Amino acid sequence: MEHFLAKFAKHIKKKVIELTRLIIVISYLEFICLLKIDFWDFTMSIIKTINLNKIYDAETEIPVHAVNDVSLEFEAGEFTAIIGPSGCGKTTLLNLLGGLDRPTSGTVTIDGTDIIKLSSSEIIDFRLRNIGFVFQAYNLVPVLTAKENVEFIMQLQGIPKQQREERVLQLFEQIGLKDRLNNRPGKLSGGQQQRVAVARALASKPKFVLADEPTANLDSKSTSNLLDIMEKLNEVENTTFIFSTHDSRVMKRARRLVSLEDGKVVSDNNQMEHR
């Protein structure tokens, strides 16, 4: 009898421990759910779009579906080209990813922040701190020197002068224009201007850089030069680059190609796997 009772007590004790463990696990899971942490999401995506749509002239008889139900994810350190024929929605998609335009429907989440929900002043500040832009026409401020153009964005961020100076020198060394610091854009070639534009985009240490047709106005040598620099920066600083392009030279160098047609993603290839 005594033996039976001892065995029963041991069994109860074991069950209580198991039950306690179970309660701890359940509590943990509840806590995870409460924090809305995607427990199973182990990917490093910094940009995620879900069912993204952009329709121009939606109320007219001929609405233009520039971006059509696009769901994409971009991971940190990517070197991706969004490709497709003219008018396929590449620039519109980039504008949506960069918060320059608002989608008709769908979401754009950048590093956990749904940028669609941000107010217009919040999105400007978000762009300043998280996104770098490179434009087809360089768009440097002509009255500022190359150095001032790059430094300007850091001034907007409120970075101290000493840090700005160091960062500018580092970037100009990387883009190979250290001897052109004090030249105004008018005194630089197209390729050099675009390299300064890349430096400007990276000056604020953004999470990613969006480049809209960065090589469209450049000759072969300048294009190759620019791509070398961007690849190097991608490797050295782990900067994520997302281009829109229909330049085959850029496509060859991109590690991932997202192909659009009439606003829809028709293919999404990781070229590294093919190589």
Give the whole-angstrom CA distance, residue 142 versus residue 108: 33
Give the whole-angstrom CA distance, residue 108 versus residue 11: 54
The 207-246 contact track toward other proteins, x by CB under 8 A, reads -----x----------------------------------
Residues in 53-92 at the binding interface with other proteins, rule: CB under 8 A? 91
Q: Which of 97, 190, 57 has its CA nearest to residue 106?
A: 97
Quick check: 129 binds other proteins (CB under 8 A)? yes
- Binding test (CB under 8 A) with other proteins, winner from 153, 209, 211, 233: 153
Smallest gap from Cβ 93 to other proteins, in A, equals 12
Residues contacting 190, CB < 8 A, separation 6+: 138, 217, 218, 219, 222
Give the whole-angstrom CA distance, residue 243 versus residue 238: 16
Residue 81 DSSP symbol? E
**203 vs 253, beta carbon nearer other proteins:** 203
Quick check: 156 binds other proteins (CB under 8 A)? yes
Long-range contacts of 15-20 (CB under 8 A, 24+ apart): none
Residues in 173-212 at the binding interface with other proteins, rule: CB under 8 A? 200-201, 204, 212
Kindly list the residues in this chain that would bind other proteins in the complex (CB under 8 A).
91, 95, 98, 100-101, 120-121, 124-125, 127-129, 132-133, 135-137, 139, 141-144, 152-153, 155-157, 200-201, 204, 212
